[in-house]
Amino acid sequence: MVLTWVTMCPTKTTIVEYGIGNLESAAKGYETKFVDGGKEKRALYIHRVFLGGLKVGQTYNYRCGNDGVWSEVHSFTTVKNRQDWSPRMAIYGDLATKSGGGRCFESLAERVKNKKYDIVFHVGDLAYNMDSYNARVGDQFMREIEPIAANVPYMNIYKFFYLNSNFSNYNNRFTMINEADGNINNHFYSFNIGPAHIISFSTEFYYFTKYGRSQILTQYQWLERDLIEANKPNNRAKRPWIITMGHKPMICSNKNNDDCTRKESRVRKGMPPLHLYGLEDLFYKYGVDIEFWGHEHSYERFWPMYNLKVYNGSIEEPYKNPKAPVHIITGYAGHSLVDPFFKTGPEWSAVRVNDFGFTEMTILNETHINIVQYSVTENKTFDELMIIKDSHGPYIK
């Protein structure tokens, strides 16, 4: 577990006091100075503390502090390290600050308070934008997600808005850990939870090459190595579900000029003109089950799909033993702009909704996953599906 926070001034110490019940333990961390790239060159001080040796499935109370100044006492529950349990998570993208149109803060915070989630995953577009107004928008956003992120693991990926100074605001404010090697990598990483292997990666490498194209190849090679490892018989038997998290979708049916509206989008088919490092074939080859996306300010659920063709399990039960990955775009947690749909949807699009909300996923067991989409406008669920797979592995063309 890594705890990360920001102060406006340097401190002598970086400490977390924690424990099951009382705060009987303490861990020291480190502080780094971050200078924002805006005109004011504001200095922020990033604090990180790694907590090791925690008991699995236990609730810990903690507070962060330094020089006698402490945060409120928060709590988190460590996830179980075995596969035979049912993780619950919220998934959403494109959440602005409250003043920028963010609509889901209260609903998510209430659910976190009531222990409804084991983890929260933000699939890109945070704050709009982290570096705006000399990073004060980033400060505001971090304060607003505190009731969520201080009490449940808050996993995320970034989007191009954080490109200034090579994604420095995002990289400094968050700490994502790749489980396989224990290294910090906010760009692409993977981890296991329950009967699932979760892979997070950057779609931005395909569109913003200011800092070079080698990062596309580096990530692609890492993705394939990770998928090969996840598909080793023993690993796939323990964690049969493979689920990916990316920001820009491979495909969408929104009425705009985004790349996902094109049949040969960069994420799906690769970098032009040779179509290098496309992800659709890679994910199909290694049997990815579900792909979550953000970016489009809407919700769209797809039929099982590969190469723009539908591969339902059957007519009666399309999501029972589907023959291709299931895509879900959940990108309308809160922004003032909406991305409308074309009036007539393509054959591979099952459900399309323009409404503020977020996705909830429960990985019930090795064969069943339940997914619902919750509307904060209507205060109710407006879409639900059960994905059933009796066996997992690479798809057969």
Nearest one of 194, 196, 205 to 157, comparing CA atoms: 205
What is the secondary structure of 272-315 as a DSSP string?
A: TTTTEE-SHHHHHHTT--EEEE-SSSSEEEE-SEETTEE--S-S
> For position 338, what pLDDT does the model report?
83
The CATH number given to whatever domain includes residue 144 is 3.60.21.10
Return the sign of the alpha-carbon dihedral for residues 80, 84, 88, 91: positive
Paired strand residues for 121: 91, 155
- Do strands 276-277 and 270-271 pair parallel, antiparallel, or not at all (unpaired)? antiparallel
- The alpha carbon of residue 69 and the mean position of all alpha carbons in its chain are separated, in whole angstroms, by 32
Q: Output the six-digit token pair for 386.
A: 């059960």
Are residue 42 and residue 165 in the same domain, yes or no?
A: no
**Helix, strand or coil for residue 181?**
coil
Q: Output the six-digit token pair for 11.
A: 């401190």
| Alpha-carbon torsion angle 78, 138, 103, 250, nearest 10 | -80
Are residue 320 and residue 335 in the same domain, yes or no?
A: yes
The DSSP call for residue 161 is: G
| Alpha-carbon torsion angle 137, 110, 151, 95, nearest 10 | -30
Nearest one of 147, 34, 118, 18 to 70, comparing CA atoms: 18
Boundary residue ending a domain (56, 78, 100): 78
Does residue 396 sit within a domain?
Answer: no
> For position 74, what pLDDT does the model report?
97
* Residues 75 and 59: beta-carbon distance below 8 Å: yes
* Residues 76 and 153: beta-carbon distance below 8 Å: yes
HSE of 121, CA atoms in CB hemisphere, 13 A? 29
The DSSP call for residue 384 is: E
Q: What are the CA-CA distances from residue 294 to residues 38, 159, 230 (Å)?
A: 27, 10, 24
What are the φ/ψ torsions at residue 228 (nearest 5 degrees)?
-60, -45
List of residues 6+ apart from 80 with CB closer than 8 A: 56, 57, 194
* Residues 285 and 279: beta-carbon distance below 8 Å: no
Domain count, the chain: 2
What's the rounded Cα separation, in Å, for the pair 177 and 15? 20
The CATH number given to whatever domain includes residue 45 is 2.60.40.380
Q: What is the pLDDT along the chain (397 residues), one digit of tens a residue?
A: 999 999 999 999 999 999 999 999 999 999 999 999 899 999 999 999 999 999 999 999 999 998 789 999 999 999 999 999 999 999 999 998 988 778 899 999 999 999 999 999 999 888 888 888 998 998 999 999 999 999 999 999 876 544 455 567 778 888 888 888 877 777 899 999 999 999 999 999 999 887 778 999 999 999 999 999 999 999 999 999 999 999 999 999 999 999 999 999 999 999 999 999 999 999 999 999 999 999 999 999 999 999 999 999 999 999 999 999 999 999 999 887 789 898 899 999 999 999 999 999 999 999 999 999 999 999 999 999 999 999 999 998 7
Nearest one of 152, 133, 187, 164 to 141, comparing CA atoms: 133
Does residue 394 sit within a domain?
Answer: no
Are residue 189 and residue 307 in the same domain, yes or no?
A: yes
What's the rounded Cα separation, in Å, for the pair 370 and 385? 6
Are residue 293 and residue 330 in the same domain, yes or no?
A: yes
Boundary residue ending a domain (78, 94, 114): 78
Q: Give the residue numbers spanning the domain of 17.
A: 1-78
Does residue 393 sit within a domain?
Answer: no
Does residue 277 sit within a domain?
Answer: yes
- Do strands 368-375 and 326-330 pair parallel, antiparallel, or not at all (unpaired)? unpaired
What's the rounded Cα separation, in Å, for the pair 341 and 297? 10
Q: Would you tell me how many other CB atoms lie within 10 Å of the CB of residue 396?
A: 6
Nearest one of 159, 178, 389 to 288, comparing CA atoms: 389
HSE of 88, CA atoms in CB hemisphere, 13 A? 11
What's the rounded Cα separation, in Å, for the pair 181 and 276? 27
Does residue 397 sit within a domain?
Answer: no
Are residue 32 and residue 87 in the same domain, yes or no?
A: no
> For position 161, what pLDDT does the model report?
47
Are residue 225 and residue 85 in the same domain, yes or no?
A: yes
First to last CA, the chain: 41
